[in-house]
Structure 1
Amino acid sequence: KLKIEENKLSDNFDSIISIIDAQLGQIIQKIKDGFISNDEDRCCRNVNYYFDLLYAIIKSPGQLSNDNTNNLISKILQKWNNVPHVNDKDKCKRETDLDSICKRSILKHLHDLKLDKMPIKTFSEEYKNYLSKQWEKIIAYTSKYYYNLYIKIENDFIGIIDSYSNFLNSSDPICDIDLDDLSTEDITISTNWDSLMNSISLEKFTQNDYEKGCYNKNYIKILKNKASSIQRINNILSSGIAILGFFLILVLIRRFSPLRSFLRGCTKKKVEVDENMNEEVVSELYDDSENERTSISYYSVSH
């Protein structure tokens, strides 16, 4: 990596090609030596990582002219066809856009964490340093275009949400789950953290055999917040329905039950009583008025 970067500064195309040829031969030999039969996916991940790394170094800012940059990229794509042990080249198809590079890096890191469980436990600090060196160039390249990049990995048995750089630099061991069915379609990348959080689906969360799943702390925290919000909404709706039901029952009782007749009867009797009382009061007032007039006439005559 350092030799390539040094020659980039001097825009030395031929020297860079010779370095790539030599290193590519070493990389392919390592892959052949460590290749496990019927494990083409692993071979693809390792070879693609090397080409992604080359791509990131060459495309990163430097003194390399545009013509030499394009020629180097073209040479790299040609050399990619020398991928060993892979019968179906389309299975190892390598897109060079940023999203594809990011997603390939995430998949490789997940698989490496599972394969390297023992070294991580034994040499935790050394492994963290190894990760930092392994991903620094690719992270620097993507950061040039994505200032803050976040990732979400989500399917039936995995839920991880984090920043892209934090995830690749993390040596937290992956749960012991089958990663063979995990694909780039299960990975979402975004520069909007809130949007990524809101896209987390409770339906994806598997409560059955939960211990077999793999969820990081950020994902669990967001799931809990979502579940609490939904519970609060359900409680409000339940209370509203209960109150509405209570008033509906009162309306039905008032309109159709014997209580309505009883209430109407009581109201009618009260009206009749009030009317009788009013008549009696009027009659008494009239009688009092007559008596007063009689008394006044009598005393007037005596004088």
Structure 2
Amino acid sequence: MEKDDFTEDNLASNKYKRNLESSANIKELENLCTKNPSNQGDIENFLSKFNPNVYAAYSTIKKDCVSKINNPKCCRDVNYYLDLVNSFINSANIIKNEKELLVEIIEGYWKDYIDNFSNYTCKREQGVYSVEKRCILKQICDLYDDKTYFELNSSQYNKFVAKKWEKILNYSNHENKELYFKINFKIINKSGKYKELLLDPKEIIDVDCKNIDITHISISTEEPDKSSNPLNGDLQTLGGHDSDQHYQEDSEGAVDTETSYTPWMSIFTSLSGSISGILIFSFLYKFSPLVSLIQSYKINKKRIGKNMNKEETTELLESEEINKYYISYNSMSY
């Protein structure tokens, strides 16, 4: 493949772009939202057509993803366009309440439809930093799909990705705060700057995009600690297929690392507790007054047991003699 062969239409990551973009008519929405002032009614009319049109296109491409063992690419791509639409709405020169009503037109519609298929799994999470997590997920998977083009045309490719993400970044609601991402994927623990990963990727992240999802990704306004193996702007090669750990987020998006806890640690903890208990009991048994108390208890128990046995035996013999007496008496009465 020659360097001059780079075109956006040839990118594997853009396989479904034409279907979705033609139905979405994103350029018209951008024009409506950049007007000064913007008109809520015009945008609302646009969205009333946008939703069913994009849904029809999504249903078409979804069939292809289902045929490829539920490839999650269709889900990532349609979520990208929905996030892009919300970004344009947030950029519109209208009051906050009107923006929220327009966003609800999008989210309310797709909440009922995006994962309403028994043969294809697609989610649109609404948690803290869910948009940023979806962007990270799509970026690392698109980079992997486009690795041949990226390796031959990295400068041209970076211009393409900058154009793809700049509008979502510009119209986000995080007041231009520096955000950091962290990926926990099986034994992998990588981190870096959110914007740098989207706008200026350095290397392909070698990851299985059929298994990774946004639960393996966290976003924070605080730079991850040094133990997280920061990328410092350069993406290092990743690998793996699953993850048992990820980060918890509070209502303000702060991220805390969960302690890594393996099955071996669980076994070691249980054995340590058992051994400690045995040693403590042995020490007390040998050196404390508890020994004499236990021995006295055993001796008394034996004495009581012998006395009880003697009494029971005596009572049993007496009972037998009485029975004989009554039996003899009864036989004589006849």
Alignment TM class, shorter chain as reference: 0.5 to 0.7
Taking structure 2 as the reference length, the TM-score comes to: 0.51
| Contact 2:87 2:167 (C-alpha < 8 Å) held by counterparts | yes
Mapping for residues 131-170 of structure 1, pairs under 5 Å: 131-142=161-172, 144-145=174-175, 147-170=177-200
- Counterparts in 2 of 1:120 and 1:18: CA distance versus 1, 3 Å: farther
1:76 and 2:106 matched:
yes
CA distance in 2, matches of 1:198, 1:69: 39
Tell me by how many angstroms 1:166 deviates. 0.2
1:4 and 2:32 matched:
no
| Contact 1:32 1:84 (C-alpha < 8 Å) held by counterparts | no
Instruction: Name the one with the larger helix percent.
Output: 1
Find the structure with the greater CA-based Rg: 1
CA distance in 2, matches of 1:89, 1:70: 32
SS of the aligned residue for 1:107 comes to helix
1:59 and 2:90 matched:
yes
SS of the aligned residue for 1:147 comes to coil
CA distance in 1, matches of 2:105, 2:47: 10
CA distance in 2, matches of 1:87, 1:40: 14
Q: After the TM superposition, which segments of 4 or more aligned residues of structure 1 sit over 6 Å from their partners? A: none
CA distance in 2, matches of 1:145, 1:10: 22
Q: Deviations over 1:128-165 (max 9, x none)?
A: 12211111122223463351111111233534321110
Mapping for residues 239-258 of structure 1, pairs under 5 Å: none
CA distance in 2, matches of 1:90, 1:99: 24
1:187 and 2:217 matched:
yes
Q: Which of 209, 228, 232 is residue 200 of structure 1 equivalent to?
A: 228
| Contact 1:120 1:171 (C-alpha < 8 Å) held by counterparts | no
* Most deviating of 49-58 and 19-28: 19-28
CA distance in 2, matches of 1:151, 1:115: 21
Tell me by how many angstroms 1:125 deviates. 2.8
CA distance in 2, matches of 1:132, 1:94: 24
Taking structure 1 as the reference length, the TM-score comes to: 0.55
Q: Which of 129, 153, 168 is residue 159 of structure 2 equivalent to?
A: 129
* Aligned positions, number: 204
CA distance in 2, matches of 1:26, 1:149: 30
Tell me by how many angstroms 1:111 deviates. 0.9
2:60 alignment counterpart:
32
- Counterparts in 2 of 1:27 and 1:128: CA distance versus 1, 3 Å: farther
Mapping for residues 92-131 of structure 1, pairs under 5 Å: 92-131=122-161
Quick one: percent identity of the two aligned structures?
28
- Counterparts in 2 of 1:108 and 1:64: CA distance versus 1, 3 Å: same
RMSD of aligned Cα (Å): 3.5
Q: Deviations over 1:54-77 (max 9, x none)?
A: 1122123x4223443233112112
Tell me by how many angstroms 1:119 deviates. 2.5
Tell me by how many angstroms 1:187 deviates. 1.6
Tell me by how many angstroms 1:117 deviates. 1.4
CA distance in 1, matches of 2:162, 2:198: 8
* Stretches of structure 1 lacking an aligned partner (at least 5 in a row): 202-210, 215-303
Read off the aligned partner of 2:40 and give its amino acid letter: F
Tell me by how many angstroms 1:84 deviates. 6.8
1:270 alignment counterpart:
none
SS of the aligned residue for 1:161 comes to strand
CA distance in 1, matches of 2:114, 2:125: 18
CA distance in 1, matches of 2:154, 2:55: 25
